[in-house]
Structures are given as C-alpha cells and as structure tokens.
Amino acid sequence: MPAFGVSALTVGAGLLLFGPPPSADAAPATIPLTIKNSSGRNEPVYVYNLGTQLASGRQGWADANGTFHPWPTGGNPPTPAPDAAIVGPAPGQTKTIRMPQFSGRVYFSYGQKLVFKLTTGGLVQPAVQNPSDPNRDILFNWSEYTLNDSGLWINSTQVDMFSAPYAVGAKTPGGTVENTGRLRPGGYNAVFGGLRSTGWGGLIQSRPDGTPLRALSPGHGIEAGGIPAGVMNDYINRVWSRYSSSTLTVTPFAHQPSTKYHGRVSGNVMNFTDGSGAVVTSFQKPDSDSVFGCYKQLDAPNDAVRGPISRTLCAGFNRSTLLTNPNQPDANSAGFYRDAVTNHYSRLIHAQMADGKAYGFAFDDVGAHESLVHEANPQEAFMTLEPFS
C-alpha cells in the first residue's frame, strides 16, 4: 500500500475480488449489514463503505441506505474526499446499514473520523506504515468484501495490520449464521505480547501514552524499519540450498491432482517444469519483503501457471513448510510456523483465533486457512466490534 499523498490505491483495484463472476440470477441490489458494538469502548464509532460499484466499475462510497456516490475527481496534491462517514452503533448497541453490490472495504474507526483524500488516480487509503499519514494515531480497522449475483464474500483481514478486533458473518436463507475472525479470550493482548517476546515488537505502533494501536504486517514493518529487511533470509537461503539437489513438487489445484510442477534451483533461479520437462516459469531467489508481500520476486499474476505456483511458494515460505515437506501445498496446519525463522506475525494471529483462521498474509487462503465467510444467498451480513482483551 503506498504512502499517503504519494500515490493512490483505488479501493477495489488492489483487493481480491472474491468468488466467480456473477451468475445470470439476479441478486438483491443491497443486503443489510448489522454492526454490533461489543468493544466495551466509550468513543464514538464511524463506519465507511468504500469500493467499486460492480455494475459500472466506478469507484465511490455507499451511504447508510446503500446508495452509491461516485468519487469526484481528485487533484495533485490530493484533495479532501467527501465525508463518507456513517455514525456507528453506541457501546452495546447495533446499527444496520445496507451493502450494495461492491468489491470494497468496510472501515470503522474509534474516537475520530478517518482522513481520506483523492488524487487524479483515485482514493488514497490509509498507509500507517508512513509516519506522516494523518490516520497514524487513529484506532481503526477494516473488512474486505465482494457482493455480487453469486453471493457474498466477507473477510476478517490482517494482511496489512492487526488492530481493532472484529468478527464478520453471514446469514443463510435457513437462518444459520456463519462467523469468522473472532479472537480467543485474551487473544488481542496475547498477539502484542507474543510479538514483543519473539523480538518483533518493532511492528507495534502505539499512542504517546503507550496504548497499542496496531501491529503492522511484517512487509509494512520492514518498510517502517520495525524489523530487519533480511529477517527471513536464513530460511530462504536454506530452501534455495535444499532444492539445488532435490525437487520441490507443487500441485496447485486440489481439484486437479494430476497437474504438478517440479522446481529445481540452478544458480539463483528456481525453475519449474511440467510433466514433459519443459520449463513453465522461473523465480529469482526472493527477499524477505517478497515473501511477506507475495509480490516482487514472488509475483502471482492471475493466470493458470505462474500465479498458482507463486501462491503455493508464498504460503510455504510464510508457514515455513518448504523444508519439512517437498510436496506443496502442505495441508497439515499442525506443521505450520515450526521453524525458528518464520512469519511470527501470522503465526501468533492464527494461534489466537477462535477457529484458527486468519488472513495473516496475502495467500493465507492456500489450503483454506483464511478468515473468510462465503454465502451464495446471503440474507444479512454481520460485523461485530469485539472487546480489546
């Protein structure tokens, strides 16, 4: 995510568009999103529903009734965005708003409104790894969602940061509610404490009085100087050495077990071949930032070969399973994060989730370990602002 005021990240453009393309069956133009404030905090809550209107491809925001408002043209330097804040529920109360067919984010903040600006390229989102970001000292978080004719996908994400706790859910036509994102009792403080004890306390951003606001994801933490840029180098080097003399087999599609690719390192490059022995894609040895961000040397285009292999490699590096299992992806979560050199941020968050699921890095959905709810015929969506404990 770019630094505030330097470049724009348009809502929706950088997000995962969950699920298949819309089906021919029409879905409601909006569904209710009920937000419950169980946080125990007394500050006012502000809610924002920002994203891409799927019918038109336009960027904008939705008001409490689900009505879409396109962003006006921004400027350079960035100009203030229209105030899209919806007053959220008071402590112990609920508030229901309407979600339109969007791919976007539902932000929420405590105590004060977030600052959004517009450049000529679109909306500039908060980038709190930048110390000059105007949202740096605001307590906030967000969920990502897509609602289209094939249903609702809504997640609890920690890809960018771990902050104000919340859970999400969706109601089926039969009245059943599926939830995810809820921390174990004491889990919020346990994540911060675990980061400090493992030497990753530099990821934590606090208010001047010492109150934690968030923990940056390790990629953003490298950018902000919170952890060393080479923190994963030892593991990366061991992986490259191991597969210089043995083969890493990737089976990227669970429903296509016969589709396999075979990786061997030659020099600084891991080449992957198909069943005929032809090289289908190659990867330069990644750095730590590439591993945490699943980009740069581990770029994952939306194609049928390189992207799926890269996703699998990224998951194996973050979960430190590439040395313990030469057949990837590894399905056994009991073996994740066991190496001393691993993504401790993701490890700690998963360990404190009630259902064990989280989006600790971009491709945590490899093997379905992500905190995501999908409902094909959603009657209602839910977001619960959870206690800070």
Q: Give, in order, the Cα–Cα distances in Å from 318 to each of 70, 158, 305.
A: 38, 14, 20
Provide the percentage of residues in the chain whose pLDDT is more than 70: 93
**Same structural domain for residues 194 and 84?**
yes
**Same structural domain for residues 209 and 66?**
yes
- Please check whether residue 203 lies inside any domain of the structure: yes
Which position among 144, 287, 364, 370 bears the catalytic label?
144
Residues 10-33 as b or e (16 or more Cβ within 10 Å = b):
bbbeebbbbbeebeeeebbebbbb
Q: Which pLDDT tens digit goes with each residue over 52-95?
A: 999 999 999 999 999 999 999 999 999 999 999 999 999 999 99
Q: Write down the pLDDT at residue 5.
A: 27
Which position among 25, 133, 160, 380 bears the catalytic label?
160
User: What is the pLDDT confidence band of residue 2, given thresholds at 50, 70 and 90?
Assistant: very low
Q: Write down the pLDDT at residue 4.
A: 24
Q: Which pLDDT tens digit goes with each residue over 221-249?
A: 999 999 999 999 999 999 999 999 999 99
- Tell me how far apart the alpha carbons of residues 342 and 161 are, in angstroms, rounded to a whole number: 17
**Same structural domain for residues 104 and 177?**
yes
Question: Lowest-confidence range among 13-17, 241-245, 264-268, 288-292?
Answer: 13-17
Q: Write down the pLDDT at residue 236.
A: 98
**Same structural domain for residues 241 and 262?**
yes
- Tell me how far apart the alpha carbons of residues 58 and 68 are, in angstroms, rounded to a whole number: 10
Indicate whether 203 pLDDT > 80. yes
Which CATH number do you get for residue 328?
A: 3.30.920.50
380 in active site? no
- Please check whether residue 290 lies inside any domain of the structure: yes
**Same structural domain for residues 168 and 34?**
yes
**Same structural domain for residues 167 and 291?**
no
Indicate whether 11 pLDDT > 90. no
- The count of domains in the chain is 2
- Please check whether residue 50 lies inside any domain of the structure: yes
- Please check whether residue 362 lies inside any domain of the structure: yes
- Please check whether residue 360 lies inside any domain of the structure: yes
Provide the percentage of residues in the chain whose pLDDT is more than 90: 91
Which CATH number do you get for residue 37?
A: 2.60.110.10
**Same structural domain for residues 335 and 369?**
no
**Same structural domain for residues 180 and 264?**
no
Q: Write down the pLDDT at residue 324.
A: 98
Q: What is the pTM of this model?
A: 0.93
160 in active site? yes
**Same structural domain for residues 252 and 327?**
yes
- The range of the structural domain enclosing residue 300 comes to 233-342
Q: Write down the pLDDT at residue 16.
A: 43
**Same structural domain for residues 198 and 262?**
no
Q: Tell me the average pLDDT across 316-342.
A: 97
Indicate whether 27 pLDDT > 80. no
**Same structural domain for residues 223 and 237?**
no
Token pair 């393309």: residue = 21
- Tell me how far apart the alpha carbons of residues 147 and 376 are, in angstroms, rounded to a whole number: 10
Q: Which pLDDT tens digit goes with each residue over 116-168?
A: 999 999 999 999 999 999 999 999 999 999 999 999 999 999 999 999 999 99
- Please check whether residue 24 lies inside any domain of the structure: no
